[in-house]
Amino acid sequence: MIAEFLSNTFALSENGSESLKKGVLYTVLLDIVLMFPISLFILFIAQYIPNNLVTMKLDFIWFIVLILIILALIYILKSKQYDFIYTTTYKESEIRRVNLAEQLRKLPMSFFENKDLSDLTTTIMGDCADLEHVFSHAIPELAGSIISLAILSIGIIIFNPTMGVALLWVVPVSFIIVLISKSLQEKGGAKVLGIRRIAADGIQECLETIKELKAYSHENKYLKGLNRKIKNVESQCIKTEVFTGIFVTIGQMFLKLGIVSVMLVGSIMLVNEDISLFVFLIFLISAAFLYLPLQGALEYLAEIFIMGSKIDRMKDIENQAYQKGLENYPNKGYDIEFKDVNFNYKEDKNVLKNINFTARQGEVTALIGPSGGGKSTISKLAARFWDANSGKITLGGIDLNTVDPEALLKNYAIVFQDVVLFDDTVMENIRIGARGASDEEVLKVAKLARCDEFVKDLPNGYDTLIGENGSLLSGGERQRISIARALLKDAPIILLDEATASLDVENESEIQKALSILIKNKTVLVIAHRMRTIANADKVVVLKEGKIYEQGSPKELIEKEDSLYRNMVEIQNKAGKWKV
């Protein structure tokens, strides 16, 4: 029950919730044991105060023994507390990051269209790091303080109700003061996160566009805007912390009033002989030691309030529905068929409207048309990166919506226009196409993709690190690595989105020969703007404004007088003759 509450409230795993529960238990026990030195001190001074309530007399050696026992208990409980709180917190932080990353891996691309990447990075790295302090300090210390105080309060009230009230009345008042500010603190925390995200976006954009900023002498103007964003973060953080500090400080001030009330009430009762000097000293000492951890507890309570928005962001990711389906599906061949498919990224604008065509196995189906016509969207729907809003897309007669995306993509080799490479060697970047491939297999496809031509000039050949996203390579060189990956995977379905767009004419012709080996007897969808690259396609689907304008073989379309395909071929042929 408690573990389930912790899991739901703080987005913890089952093990994390159990460990936090045990950590709170040991914190409570430790807080109680830490009161023993006070009790021992009271017992010690009772030896020298006449007419006190303590009748037990101890030799000095016994005080030494009791001190050693208390120290041993503190050590044992502290070790247990550390294990269940600090050690587990870092393990839980690792689990949380892995779970978030795993959830993101399963989510459809539509989720990322509406999410900022720097925001997701902040959630996985920054928010998780901030929560480490909450789970290792704030929650156990706050819970430990409250529970141990509740236990001690029962004994104090029983011992002397009047002095007990004088000692404890400030505690609920102090917590109520901080609780009143809860909603305002949560709003302030959410606002800080929003402004930080804007600043992070600006920094990331600056790093990604530094070449353009320098090329157009735009650095100063851009940096002024970026400085404003960073200043806004600083300003909002100060405002939020000052606001939080005001309520926490007021609450802590009320705790100090407890010492005053103990002194006033105790003095009156002492004069009236309602209590002894010994009892009066007990409550004064208790007030000095009792309020100190509670001051920290008020700070932890405020910290938990601010963390609420960060926990909500994690829950938002964890609660996202991801694409599911069969891992084993009885498809008959690899024909891809679009039936009355409609799709939009945003509700107010359809990108694809009533799409109907079939890309058959053993044929090359080319998607062409003006920019923004929906060509790349069709290729992504064919791989189930998104799900269609209506209609049906089938693979070998099986509805893609019924197939697990990861199982589906095992049948796809994809070369997109925007190549993504990793900060690793050329060899390992190609091997992504088939993780178990031997070096010989990698080198074979690398030669087919004409990677040899640039790899021979690299310092360590195929073992050269190529930088983040292949920053040490040209666009054409990066594209060749991407093509080599596809050759290595040797999947039954090939998606080529402007696969040779970054290559010169000579290399394009050579790689076309390699691609002809790759696409043999496979289902091939090609997106191209250069008409010569699809001259040998079996079928051409011409898209315009999200609709199929025409489809047929290149020969059939070139013979139509009103053919958009024919018009595009003629325009490119004329453009090829232009001279500067």
Residue 579: pLDDT above 70? no
- More confidently predicted of 546 and 281: 546
Residue 225: pLDDT above 80? yes
Q: Please, which pLDDT band fits residue 4 given cuts at 50, 70 and 90?
A: low
pLDDT given at position 442: 92
The secondary structure of the chain in percent helix, strand, coil, rounded to multiples of 5, reads: 65, 10, 25
Structure tokens at 331: 């498809």
* pLDDT tens, residue by residue, 286-332: 787 778 778 888 888 888 887 877 888 888 888 888 888 888 888 88
- More confidently predicted of 163 and 572: 163
pLDDT given at position 500: 65
pLDDT given at position 551: 92
Q: Comparing 13-27, 187-201, 485-499, 566-580, which segment has the lowest mean pLDDT?
A: 566-580
pLDDT given at position 329: 87
Alpha-helical regions (H) of 338-457? 375-382, 405-409, 426-431, 439-448, 452-455
Residue 27: pLDDT above 80? yes
Residue 337: pLDDT above 90? yes
- Domains of the chain listed by start with CATH number: 2-318 (1.20.1560.10), 334-411+522-573 (3.40.50.300)
Residue 177: pLDDT above 60? yes
* pLDDT tens, residue by residue, 529-560: 777 777 778 899 999 888 999 999 888 888 88
pLDDT given at position 51: 58
Residue 90: pLDDT above 60? yes
- More confidently predicted of 44 and 437: 437
Structure tokens at 195: 């402004």
pLDDT given at position 343: 92
pLDDT given at position 185: 80
* SS3 category, 549: strand
| DSSP line for 250-317 | HHHHHHHHHHHHHHHHHHHHHHTTSS-HHHHHHHHHHHHHHHHHHHHHHHHHHHHHHHHHHHHHHHHH
Gap between the Cα atoms of 475 and 480, Å rounded: 9
Q: Comparing 100-104, 350-354, 371-375, 529-533, which segment has the lowest mean pLDDT?
A: 529-533
- More confidently predicted of 40 and 222: 222
Beta-sheet pairing, 539-544 with 523-527: unpaired
Taking alpha carbons only, the member of 2, 4, 22 closest to residue 12 is 4
pLDDT given at position 370: 86
Gap between the Cα atoms of 245 and 239, Å rounded: 10
